[in-house]
Amino acid sequence: MKNFILPISAVVVLTLATVSIVRTQPSRTLSEPPIAPPRATFAERVVAVGLIEASSENISLSAHLPGVVEKVLVTVGQDVRAGEPLVKLDTRALAAQLAERRSDLVTRQAGVTTANANARTARATLADVQRNLRIAEAVADPRSISVEELSRRRSAVEIAEANVFAADAQIAAAQAGVAAAEAAIGAVETELARSTILAPIDGRILQLRIRPGEFAPAGVTAQAWLMLGAVDPLHVRVDVDEHEAWRVKPSAGAVAQVRGNANLSTPLRFVRFEPYVVPKTSLTGASNERVDTRVMQAIYRIERVDLPLFVGQQMDVFIDAGGLQTAMHNQQGQP
């Protein structure tokens, strides 16, 4: 029996170890992923990422003039019409300039009235001296009037004519001053009109990042503080890698799926290609996140209007390339 103790013990230990290993193995059960992955219905396809945008493209509005915001007349998500005021800047300084320009216009208009009165006086004086000269020249007996008197009357006519010419010049100068004052008023009124930002198109306020009392800079800013776009319909801008751009044709079908829920999908209708191939930009919004790949951008229209989509949202896009592959194989098989 002593010869069998060691083998029996080894068998028992091995059995216990095997049972322990089997019992400690985790149970593996097949489970479905919590989120359905994107699914393509095309056998031959081009896969790309799209970014939803307004059909008018996203319009970043800015102020013509720098200034403090007095009123914000819209809210985010509000639909506006073309020409509707959106934001009004503080215009008190411009209003004071306008009052000053109007006062200057009144002064210059009074100057025109004065110049006209001076011109009438000068013409009356000219008529009087011309009449006196004609009387002197009409005397039959030259001895009745001296040469000196006749010369004096002729000089008076010349002086009166010069005064009329000067009065006419004063009228022209005064009228030019009035025109300049009116132009100055028009310039201030234009600045007043530019102090109110108007909607350039019919659309929806997509982003509003400014409040009354804040300073609105003029021109392009690093981050738009007022964004507008036409959202009926929505478009999706699809970035297709340049090495697959040749496979995308305008007539090919395309489908877009919402990220996070592949069951929410919509057919796409081709709108246009962007003719310039650009460096690929990561869709995080940072302008410095780039890779070496260049992409061809294709614009598609989203056909379904009942999906909960938002401008700036990413979508998985599948473009049918089956017809193109079949045509290429047929061409290669021809003699």
pLDDT of residue 15: 84
Using pLDDT thresholds of 50, 70 and 90, give the confidence band for residue 41: confident
| Mean pLDDT for the stretch of residues 153-162 | 91
Strand partners, 97: none
pLDDT of residue 327: 42
Which tokens hold the place of 324?
């193109």
Where in the chain is CATH 2.40.50.100? 60-89+196-216
Query: Taking Cα atoms as reference points, which of 97, 331, 300, 59 lies closest to residue 192?
Result: 97
Listed range (50-54, 137-141, 222-226) with the worst mean pLDDT = 137-141
Digit-coded pLDDT (tens) for 283-329:
555 545 556 678 999 999 999 888 889 999 999 999 998 765 544 44
Strand partners, 272: 299
Domain 45-55+231-329: give its CATH architecture.
Beta Barrel (2.40)
Kindly give, in sequence order, each residue whose CB lies less than 8 Å from that of residue 252, ignoring residues fewer than 6 positions away: 270, 319, 320, 321, 323, 324
Query: Taking Cα atoms as reference points, which of 318, 259, 321, 252 lies closest to residue 52?
Result: 259
pLDDT of residue 329: 42
Contact criterion met (CB below 8 Å) for 195 and 89: yes
Q: Is the pLDDT of residue 260 over 90?
A: no
pLDDT of residue 292: 65
Q: Percent of the chain, pLDDT > 90? A: 50
Give Cα separations from 56 to 1, 85, 272 (angstroms).
95, 19, 13
Please state which CATH number belongs to domain 60-89+196-216.
Answer: 2.40.50.100
Q: Which residue is listed with tokens 């294709």?
A: 298
Please provide the average confidence, as pLDDT, over all residues in the chain: 85
Query: Taking Cα atoms as reference points, which of 298, 278, 282 lies closest to residue 290?
Result: 282
Fold type of domain 93-194: Helix Hairpins (1.10.287)
Maximal C-alpha separation, the chain: 186
Higher pLDDT: 167 or 43? It is: 167
Q: Is the pLDDT of residue 35 over 80?
A: no
Where in the chain is CATH 2.40.30.170? 45-55+231-329
Q: Is 301 exposed, middle or buried (0-12, 13-18, 19+ CB in 10 A)?
A: middle
Give Cα 140 to chain centroid, integer Å. Answer: 86
Give Cα 68 to chain centroid, integer Å. Answer: 20
